[in-house]
Amino acid sequence: MSDWYRDFANSSFGTTVTKQLGLPRPAVLRRYEPGQPLLPGPAVVGSAGDGRLRDTVSALLRDAGVHVQSPATADGATDGEKPAAVILDATGLRTPGDLVSAHDFLAPAIKRLRASGRVLILADPPGEADSPAQAAARQALDGLVRSIAKELRAGSTANLIYVPAGAEGSIASPVTFFLSGRSAYVDGQVMSVSAAELPAAEDDEQPLAGKVAVVTGAARGIGAAIAAVMARDGAHVVAVDISAAGDRLAEVANEIGGTALQLDITADDAPQRLIEHLRERHGGVDIVVHNAGITRDKLLVNMDAARWNSVMAVNLQAQLDITQALLDADGVLRDHARVVCVSSQSGIAGNRGQTNYAASKAGVIGMVRAWAPRFAERRATINAVAPGFIVTEMTARMPFGTREVGSRINSLQQGGLPVDVAETIAWLSQPGSAGVNGQTVRVCGQSMLGA
Amino acid sequence: MATTRSADVRRAAIVGGNRIPFARSNSAYAQASNQDMLTATLDGLIARFGLQGKRLGEVVAGAVLKHSRDFNLTRESVLGSRLSATTPAYDVQQACGTGLEAAILVANKIALGQIESGIAGGVDTTSDAPLAVGDDLRRVLISLNNAKTLQDRLKALARIRPGQLVPEIPRNAEPRTGLAMGDHAAITAKEWEIGREEQDELAVRSHSNMAAAYDRGFFDDLVTPFLGLARDNNLRPDSSVEKLATLKPVFGKGEGATMTAANSTPLTDGASAVLLASDEWAAEEGLPVLAHLVDAQTAAVDYVHGGEGLLMAPVYAMPVMLARNGLTLQDFDFYEIHEAFASTVLATLKAWEDPDFCKSKLGLDAPLGAIDRAKLNVNGSSLAAGHPFAATGGRIVAQLAKQLHEAGPGKRGLISICAAGGQGVVAILES
C-alpha cells in the first residue's frame, strides 16, 4: 500500500506545488536494512552541565563506526559534515537555569541536522531528583523533546530516555535503537531504562540468533511483519493464528523459514497446547509476542455482550492467561525471556466506537507495568508497544477522508508501516534490551491523539 | 508376542499430517487442479514442520482420476512446493487404497534404512476431471496428425462423425462389470442384510464425531484451509437419523434398497499428506513421533467371477496381518474403517463376526469376532469428511496417529480401506 500523497509531495512537481501551497510534505523515512550503518552521517554529542553519560555514548558511537563531532560553538562554527544525530547528555542538570545550556547546544546542532535525523536526550528521572528545582529541570526536558519532535521536519525524530543512577550499563540497546532506522516511526517518546544484567554480546546482524519466538496473529498485517523481522534478525518463529487463517499462516511460515501453529488463543486449553508444542518442538521459548487482536466497534450504548466479550478475550484475557501459564510452566520460558504485548494508541487516547477495544488495550499497558518486577526477578522483561495509525489492509478499507486525516495527524505527517511496529518489537526482544522493562513504547510518529 | 517379522527392521514413525478441507464435487475447489491441491497440501505440511528447503528421502503420492499431462504429478507438486527441488518423488495408484499404500511404501523404505524421511499423500478431483475423446475420434486425430498430404488430411477428417464428439467422462464404475461402485456395495449390503437404520446411524455418528473433533480443535494441526474453505463442506453437524430417514435410496433396486446419498460418500475433491521418518531423523529435527506404522497387508478378491463383494477385500487382508503380528481383532484401542458406504463398514464387521464366513472364506477356526463400536471412527470418517479417493488414506493415517498420540504411549490402532478393483489395504499403527 503506497502513500500516494507522500510520493507526490516528494516528486519534483509535487515539491513545487506543496511548497507553494504550504501543504505538509511527508518525508520518505530512513528505515533499517541489514548491513546498514547505524547512522548515515556523523553525530554531535553535547551535554548540559557535567553529564555522566557523554563519554559512554561517544564511545558507543565510535564502536558502531559513527564519527563523533564536537558540539558547535555559539557562533555557529562547526567541523565539517552535517550531523545525522544530535545527542544531549542532560544528566548534569541541577536547576531550570541550567536548561539554557541545553538550548545553546541543541539549537545550532539541530539547525544543521540532516533528513531522517535523530535528536536524543538522556537525563536522570525527575522522580529521583535531589530537589524540586532539579526535578523541575529534568521534567522540563519532557516538554522540550516533545516540542522539538513537532518542530523537526524531513522525517527526523526526537526522543528522551531517562537513565537512573546505576542503569548506565543498560543504555546501549535503547540508544542504538533510537538512532537507527529501526525507530523510523517512534517519535516524541519518553521512556525509562533500569539497571539490568546484560547477557554476553550479541551478533549485531542477527541479534536474535538461536532464539525461539512465538508471534500470535501472525497470518497477516502487523503480525506477519513481526514474524518476518524476527526471522530476519535470526529467530526461529512459531507463527500462531486461528485455524481459519491457516493458509495465510502457512504462507508466512514458509516465507520466513518458521513453523505454523494453528491455535485459537482464547480456547481453554490454548495455553497448555502452546506450552506442550514449545516444549516438544523447541524445548522452550525465548520470545513471546502477543500480537493477536480484534476489533468489534460499536458505540458503548449499542454494544452487545458478544462484542465486548470477544474483544476482551482475544486482546487481553488471552495475553494474561498465556503469559501466566508460561511463567508457571517449569523451564519453558527461558532465561532472558522477552514478552512483548501489542497495545494501541486507542488504549492511550481512547477512540469513539471502541470502548471495548480501548479498554482491552489500556489493560495491556497496566498488565506489563504490573508484571515487570516479576519478570525482572527472572532476568526477563515484559513490555508493550502501542501502534498509532499503521497502514494495513484494515486501514485500506477505511473511507478515504478518514484514512487521509488519520494518517496525517502526527509529526511525521504519514501513517506508519507494519514493519515499524515489528522493528520496535524486535528491538525489545533483543538480549541487550534487558534494561527496558514494563514500558509501553508508542509507534505513532508522535500522533496528536493521546499525546 | 509371536511374530514372523524380522526383529532388526525398524518401524517408521508418523510425525504428523496435513490435508486441505475436503470439498464436494464442483463446489469450493471446482477450479483447482490435482497439482494445485497437492502442492498446497505439501506446503501446509512444510509450514507445520519447518521443512522449507529440506531434501526428504522421497515424496510418494497419487491420484485416481488423473489428466495425461499429470504423468509426473507428485514430482511436479514437489517442484512447486517449498521442499528442496532435490527431493525425489513418484506417483502410485491403487484406487481408494492409494494414500495408505503410499504411506506403506514410504514406511517400508524407512524401515529398511533406504531413506530417513518421506511424505506420503494423495489427491483427487472429480470437478477438474480428465475428459477423454472416444477411441474412434482418437484414431482419426492420430491419423490426421500423421497425414503428410492435404489429401490424406481431408480423408482423415472425413471420418469424423457427430457421435464421436461426445467426450468420455470418467465414471465411478467398474470396467469389468459396468456397475457403479454403489451398486456393487448395494449387492453386498443385501447379501449381508445390512439395514437402512444402522447405516443411517453410522452416518450420523460420523458427522457428529467429526463436528465435535473440529470444535475441540482436534483438526487444528491436521488441516490447513484452502480456497476459502476451513472445514470439510460435506460435514453436517446437525445431521440426524430422522432427517436421513426421509432420503430416497440411490443405489440398489426396489423394496430392499437401503443406500442413500447420506449413507454413501459423495464425489469429493481434496488432498492429504503424511510425514514419515525414522525415530532418529525426527529427534534430530526436533519433531514429534505420534505413532509408528507397525505392519500392513493388501488383499484382492475376485468380484467378477468369484462371487465376492467388490469392497470386501479388507476382510481377507485382516486375518493375515493379525496372525503375523500375534494379535486379535479386539487388541486395538481405535478402529478406522473407511466409510466408502456405511453398508461397507457394517458388512465388513458382520463378516468378521460370522463363523461360517470366517471358516469357509477366511479359513479360520473361529471368527475374528466383534469390536467395541465406541472405538470405531471416533473423530469421524469419510461419510462426514467426504472421500477424495486417493486422499482418504492420508487423512486416516494422520488422524489415527494423532488419536493414538493423544491416548498415550502403547495404544494400537487399526486401519481398513476398501478399493475399486476388488482390492483392500489394512494397517496397524501403534503409539
Average pLDDT, consecutive stretches of 10 residues, N- to C-terminus, chain B (431 residues): 58 97 94 95 98 97 90 96 97 95 97 96 87 77 84 83 74 81 87 91 95 96 96 93 89 84 92 98 96 96 88 94 96 96 94 94 94 96 95 97 96 95 95 95
Q: Per DSSP, what are the bridge partners of residue A236?
A: A212
B44 inside 8 A of chain A by CB: yes
The mean pLDDT of chain A is 93
A119 φ, ψ to 5°?
-110, 125
Residues 354-373, chain B, touching A (beta carbon < 8 A): none
Strands A285-290 and A259-262: unpaired
Rounded Cα gap, residues B191 and B174, in angstroms: 19
Of B184, B338, B387, B405, which residue is the catalytic one? B387
Three-state SS at B317: helix
A249 inside 8 A of chain B by CB: yes
Rounded Cα gap, residues B252 and B194, in angstroms: 12
- Across the interface, do B224 and A247 touch by the CB < 8 Å criterion? yes
Residues 145-164, chain B, touching A (beta carbon < 8 A): none
Residue B406 CB partners (closer than 8 Å, separation 6+): none
CB A34: neighbour CB atoms within 10 A? 9
Rounded Cα gap, residues A341 and A325, in angstroms: 15
Rounded Cα gap, residues B346 and B348, in angstroms: 5
Rounded Cα gap, residues A432 and A417, in angstroms: 25
* Sign, Cα dihedral of A231, A236, A240, A246: positive
A253 inside 8 A of chain B by CB: yes
> Which helix (DSSP H) or strand (DSSP E) does residue B141 occupy?
helix B135-146
Rounded Cα gap, residues A338 and A196, in angstroms: 13
Is residue B16 within 8 A of residue A259, CB to CB? The reply is no
Torsion-angle region of A50 (φ positive above 0: left; ψ -120 to 50: alpha; else: beta): beta
B29 inside 8 A of chain A by CB: no
Is residue A396 within 8 A of residue A422, CB to CB? The reply is no
Rounded Cα gap, residues A416 and A185, in angstroms: 6
Q: Per DSSP, what are the bridge partners of residue A87?
A: A45, A120
- Across the interface, do A253 and B47 touch by the CB < 8 Å criterion? yes
Rounded Cα gap, residues B296 and B145, in angstroms: 47
Rounded Cα gap, residues A384 and A360, in angstroms: 13
Which among A245, A257, A267 has the least Cβ separation from residue B52? A257
- Across the interface, do A243 and B223 touch by the CB < 8 Å criterion? yes
Task: Establish how many alpha carbons lie within 13 A of residue A62's alpha carbon, considering only the half-sphere containing its beta carbon.
Answer: 10
Rounded Cα gap, residues B347 and B366, in angstroms: 18
Nearest Cα of chain A lies from the Cα of B341 at a distance, in angstroms, of: 29
* Sign, Cα dihedral of B319, B325, B328, B334: negative
- State the Cα torsion B400-B406-B411-B413 to the nearest 10°: -10
A246 φ, ψ to 5°?
-60, -30
Nearest Cα of chain A lies from the Cα of B222 at a distance, in angstroms, of: 9
> Which fold would CATH assign to domain B181-217+294-430?
Peroxisomal Thiolase; Chain A, domain 1 (3.40.47)
Q: Per DSSP, what are the bridge partners of residue A162?
A: A123, A192
Closest CA to A297 of A350, A257, A355, A247: A355
Q: Tell me what pLDDT residue B2 has.
A: 44
The residue of A216, A259, A273 whose CB has the most chain B CBs within 10 angstroms, and thus the best one to mutate to test that interface, is A259
Q: Tell me what pLDDT residue A10 has.
A: 81
B295 φ, ψ to 5°?
-165, 165
In the 3-class helix/strand/coil scheme, how is A332-363 assigned residue by residue? CEEEEEEEEEECCHHHHHCCCCEHHHHHHHHH
Q: Tell me what pLDDT residue B148 has.
A: 85
Q: What share of chain A is helix, strand, coil (3-state, %, to 5)?
A: 45, 15, 40
Residue B229 CB partners (closer than 8 Å, separation 6+): B20, B21, B23, B28, B29
- Across the interface, do B220 and A260 touch by the CB < 8 Å criterion? no
Three-state SS at B208: helix
CB B356: neighbour CB atoms within 10 A? 8
N-to-C CA span, chain B: 17
Of B67, B96, B184, B305, which residue is the catalytic one? B96
A147 inside 8 A of chain B by CB: no
Sheet holding A43-47, edge to edge: A68-69, A43-47, A85-89, A118-123, A157-162, A190-192
Q: Which residue stretches of chain A have pLDDT < 70?
A: 1-2, 72-79, 202, 451
N-to-C CA span, chain A: 27
- Across the interface, do A254 and B47 touch by the CB < 8 Å criterion? yes
For residue A273, what are the CA distances in angstroms to A247, A280, B247, B285, B310?
20, 10, 42, 20, 43
Three-state SS at B120: strand
Residue B347 CB partners (closer than 8 Å, separation 6+): B188, B189, B191, B192, B194, B309, B311, B312
Rounded Cα gap, residues B231 and B19, in angstroms: 11
Task: Establish how many alpha carbons lie within 13 A of residue B316's alpha carbon, considering only the half-sphere containing its beta carbon.
Answer: 19
Domain boundaries, chain B: 181-217+294-430
Rounded Cα gap, residues A182 and A31, in angstroms: 6
Residues of B in contact with A262 (CB under 8 A): 220-221, 224
The letter for the amino acid at B184 is H
The letter for the amino acid at A132 is P
The residue of A238, A240, A262, A272 whose CB has the most chain B CBs within 10 angstroms, and thus the best one to mutate to test that interface, is A262
Residues of A in contact with B43 (CB under 8 A): 250-251, 254
- Across the interface, do A260 and B288 touch by the CB < 8 Å criterion? no
The letter for the amino acid at B221 is D
Q: What is the ipTM of this complex?
A: 0.89
B255 inside 8 A of chain A by CB: no
- The residues of A annotated with a catalytic role in the active site are 357
The residue of B46, B218, B221 whose CB has the most chain A CBs within 10 angstroms, and thus the best one to mutate to test that interface, is B221
Torsion-angle region of B377 (φ positive above 0: left; ψ -120 to 50: alpha; else: beta): left
Rounded Cα gap, residues A169 and A126, in angstroms: 20
Chain centre to alpha carbon of residue B311: 13
Rounded Cα gap, residues A158 and A86, in angstroms: 9
Nearest Cα of chain B lies from the Cα of A210 at a distance, in angstroms, of: 14
A251 inside 8 A of chain B by CB: yes
Q: Tell me what pLDDT residue B127 has.
A: 81
Rounded Cα gap, residues B23 and B45, in angstroms: 19
Chain centre to alpha carbon of residue B188: 20
Angle between helix A221-232 and A246-256 (nearest 10): 20
* Sign, Cα dihedral of A12, A14, A18, A21: positive
Is residue A236 within 8 A of residue A278, CB to CB? The reply is no
Q: What is the DSSP string of A159-204?
A: EEEE--TT-GGG-HHHHHHHHSGGGTT--S-EEE----PPPSPPPS
Q: What does the block give as the cell for A404?
A: 487521509
Q: Tell me what pLDDT residue A75 has.
A: 46
Q: Tell me what pLDDT residue B189 has.
A: 86
- Across the interface, do A247 and B48 touch by the CB < 8 Å criterion? no
Is residue B390 within 8 A of residue B64, CB to CB? The reply is yes
Domains and CATH numbers, chain A: 22-192 (3.40.50.720), 212-443 (3.40.50.720)
Q: What is the pTM of this model?
A: 0.91
Rounded Cα gap, residues A192 and A169, in angstroms: 13
